[in-house]
Structure 1
C-alpha cells in the first residue's frame, strides 16, 4: 500500500474531517446525548461537533449542563479523533510535500518512485499515537490525583474528570466539564500547570516533539532542523511576550487579576499568556478584560502554535518566515537567510498566501457578524479570530449568536483548522518550473 504524492491529497483530509463531523453531529442529536433526554437542535449539534473535531472549544450550550455523560464521551472521542487526525495527516502531508519537492533536485532511483513507503507512514502514525497517549495519560494521572485528594471526588469521577481534561488539553480543544471552564482552579498550580504543559507540548507539533526526543541530549543546537529551531524560538518569544503583556495590562483590573495575590496574578497571567496558543481554557472572565488585552490576545490567537500539531492559527513558523522576509528587505538582501540556510521564494510566497487568506477570512467573518448581531467590534473580532485560530476563548457572546452566526463560525472553525494545512500543502504540490519568463516591470509599492 502506497500513499501517492500526485493529485490532491488535501481533498482526502477535508472529506475525512467532514465525515467525522457529520457522524458526531448525528450522535449529539440523539436524545441519549442530552441531559434532558430530548433531541438537540441540529445547529447546536453541528456547532459542537465541529468545535470538538477541529479542537476549538467554542460552545453554544453549557457542556456539563446540556450534555449527558454519553454526550460528553462523544465529545471527548471527537476531540481525540480530531487531534490525532490533525497531527497525523499534517505530518504525512509534510512528508508527501518534502518527498515531492526532492524529486526536482535529486535523480536517484530511490526518490523517483514519487511515493511514501509503508514504513514511513507507519512510523509517523505510531509516533503520533504513542506520543499523544503517553502525554494524555501522564496529565490524566496528575489531574486525577489532585481531584481526588484535594477536592474530595471519588476515584471514578476524579478519573473521568482527569481523562477528559487531559485529552482536551493535549489536543488544544479547550472543552471543560465546568460552566466556568477552569476559573475555580485559577490559583491551583497542580491543576493549571499540568494542563499548560499538555497544551504547550501538543501545540508544538509532532515533528518538533520527535526531534526534541531524538536530540534531547545533543550538545549542539545547530544539529536541530531549521523547522524545530524556528518553532521553538517563535513559540517561546510569543509565550513570553503574551505572558508579560497580559499580566501587565490586567494587573490592577479588579474584575480579572486585581483580586489575586502576587503569586496568583503571576500564575493566572502566565496561564492566559499561553492559552491563546490555542488551548482555549480560561481561568479569568475574558469578557471583563481591557480592550488592549483583547487585542493582544487576538494577535496570539491568530498566530497560533507549531505546524503539524494540535494548535491552530497561521503557525509561528509562517509568522517567523515573514519576519525574516521583512528583515531581508530592510537590509536590501535579494534572498532570505535563516540560521545559515537560504529560504526559497516558493516558501515565502506560500507563507504570504496563508497569512493573507487568514486575514481575509477573519475580516469577512467579522463584517458579517457585525451586521447580524448588536455586539461591538472588540467582541466580534475576538470571536472571529478565536474561531479561525481554533482557540475557543470567548467574551461570552457565542451562545447569543443567531443560527446564521453560529453556522458562520462553523465554517470559520473548519476552514481555520484545515485551511492552513491543506492550502500550504496544495500550493507546494502544485509547484512547477517554467520554461520561459516574461519581461520584467516594477510597479510602485507604498
Structure 2
C-alpha cells in the first residue's frame, strides 16, 4: 500500500536529489534485470545458461540501444532470448525516465516535481507543465512509426522473399523496433547485406533510424510547422541542418571511396551503389545496421564512419554521440572566434556562453574517454589501432557497427566495452543536466590576465 497518497514509483523517484542519479540508477537496474533474464537456460538455443559476461554485455548493449554483440543473435539466442533483447531495446529507446513516468502516471494519476524533473532529463523538455502530454505523444509516435515500418517490412518479406506470414510478422516487428530505436540488432547473421539493393527494405529502415535519431522535441516541432521553417526553433534548425549536411556529405564520401571496392560497393550497379552509400551514411548516426560488409571497407571509410559515429544524432533522441546540436554549436563557435566576434550568433539568436561551455566540455570529455578506452582496449586485445578505435567509438556513441573486435575480445575487453556503452548512453545526459543544475552567478570578478595561446 502506498503511504501519504503517493504511488510507490513516485516515492522511489523522490528519494534521489538529482534527476541524473535516478536516471543512472534505473538504467543500471534495468541492465541487471535484463542480464538475469538472459541467463535463464531457455534464453539460448542450446538450453545451457548464457555466461555472465555474455548476458551482461548483451543486456547492456540492448538497454543502451547499441547493438554490439559477442554472439550471433539468431543462432545463439532462442526466441525467448530474442524477445528479451528487443524488449530491452524498446525500453531503452523510449527512455527509462519516460517509461517510469508512464507507470507512475498510470498508478498514481499524478506526479511530483522531482519525478517531473527526472523525466525532463531524458526527454529534454524545456518545461514540466506539459509532461503528461509529451510522454503520451512520445509513446504514441514511437509505436505508430514502428507499426507502419513493421507492416512495410512484413509485406515485403512475404511478397518478395516468400517468408511465411507469422515469421514475416515477427521479423518485421523485430527489425522495425530495432531500426526506430537505433538498436542495431538484426536476426540475420550477415546483417542486412542480403537486402543491399532492395529499397523496400533499406529505405524504410533508414528513415526509421533517421526519425528515431532526430529527437522527439525536433520531430514534434517539425510535425507542427514543417511548412514554416522560419518559425523553427534554433535547436530544430541546427539539428535538421547539420543532419542533412552529414547525410549528404557522408553519402558522397562513401560513394567516392568505396565505388570500386570489390568487398562493398564494387559489385553493385549505379542505383545500388547510391542506395547502399546512403544507407551506410545513415547508420553511423547510431543506427548500427549494415547492408555492406563493414569489415571490407577501406580504412579511410572507417575514419569517416568514426567521425559520424562520434557526432551521433539529435539531442533527446535514441541516438548517441556528442549530438549534432553540439557539433553544430562547435562550428559556430569556431566561426565566431575566427572572425573575432565576441558573441556566437546563429540566425537572429545569440547563444549564451554557458551553452557554449557545455558544448566544449562535453566534446573534450568525450574525446578523452574515447582516447583512454582505445588505449586500454589496445592493451587488452591484439588488434590494430584503426579496428580498436572503430569499436570504441561505436560503443561510446551506442551505434553498434562492428569490425569484430567485440566478439574476439577477452572477457576484460568485453566488460570495458560494456562499461563504455553504459557511460556513452547515460554520460552525456547526466553531464548535461549536472552542468545546467550547477550553473550559478559569481558575485565578484577576478582581475583579468592575458595568456598566450598557440
Do the two structures share a fold, i.e. TM-score over 0.5? Answer: yes
The answer to whether 1:343 aligns with 2:371 is: no
Q: Which runs of 5+ in 2 are unaligned?
A: 1-5, 100-117
2:419 is matched with which residue: 408, 411, 414? 411
In structure 2, what is the equivalent of residue 24 of structure 1? 34
Measured in 1, the distance between the counterparts of 2:341 and 2:401 equals 40
The change in CA–CA distance for 1:298 and 1:40 in structure 2 (over 3 A counts) is same
1:237 maps to which of 223, 227, 245: 245
**What residue number does 1:333 align with?**
341
Question: Quick check: 1:395 aligned with 2:406?
Answer: no
- Change beyond 3 A, Cα 1:435–1:342: same
Question: How many residues are paired up?
Answer: 426
Instruction: Indicate the SS of the match to 1:176.
Output: coil
State which of 170, 189, 192 in structure 2 corresponds to 1:182.
Answer: 192
Measure the CA separation in 1 of the matches of 2:123 and 2:67: 29
Distance 2:405 2:154 in 1: 32
CA shift, 1:216, in A, is 2.6
Cα distance in 2 for residues equivalent to 1:91 and 1:135: 22
Alignment of 1:303-342 (within 5 A): 303-342=311-350
Counterparts of residues 42-53 of structure 1 (less than 5 Å): 42-53=52-63
Corresponding residue for residue 153 of structure 1 = 163
Rounded Cα–Cα distance in structure 2 between residues aligned with 1:229 and 1:395: 34
Output the CA distance in 2 between the equivalents of 1:417 and 1:75.
17
Contact 1:91/1:206 (8 A) holds in 2: no
- Runs of 4+ deviating beyond 3 Å: 1-4, 86-91, 94-99
Instruction: Tell me by how many angstroms 1:97 deviates.
Output: 7.7
Conserved? CA contact 1:97–1:428, under 8 Å: no
Pick closer, same or farther for the CA change 1:95–1:282 going to 2, 3 Å. closer
Q: TM-score of the superposition, structure 2-length normalised?
A: 0.91
> Secondary structure at the residue paired with 1:374?
coil
Distance, in Å, in 2 between the alignment partners of 1:318 and 1:211 is: 19
User: Residues of 2 paired with 1:390 and 1:277: CA distance?
Assistant: 9
Using the alignment, how far apart are the partners of 2:294 and 2:97 within structure 1? 29
SS in structure 2 of the partner of residue 342 of structure 1: strand
1:444 to 440, 448, 452: 452
Partner of residue 261 from structure 1, selected from 261, 269, 280? 269
1:210-289 mapped onto 2 (5 Å cutoff): 210-218=220-228, 221-289=229-297
Gaps of 5+ in 1: 100-115
| Match of residue 76 from structure 1 | 86
- C-alpha root-mean-square deviation of aligned residues, in Å? 1.8
How far residue 289 of structure 1 moved from its aligned partner, in angstroms, is 0.8
Q: CA deviation at 1:177?
A: 0.3
Conservation of the 8 A alpha-carbon contact between 2:98 and 2:123: no
With the length of structure 1 as denominator, give the TM-score of the two structures: 0.93
1:194 aligns with 2:204: yes
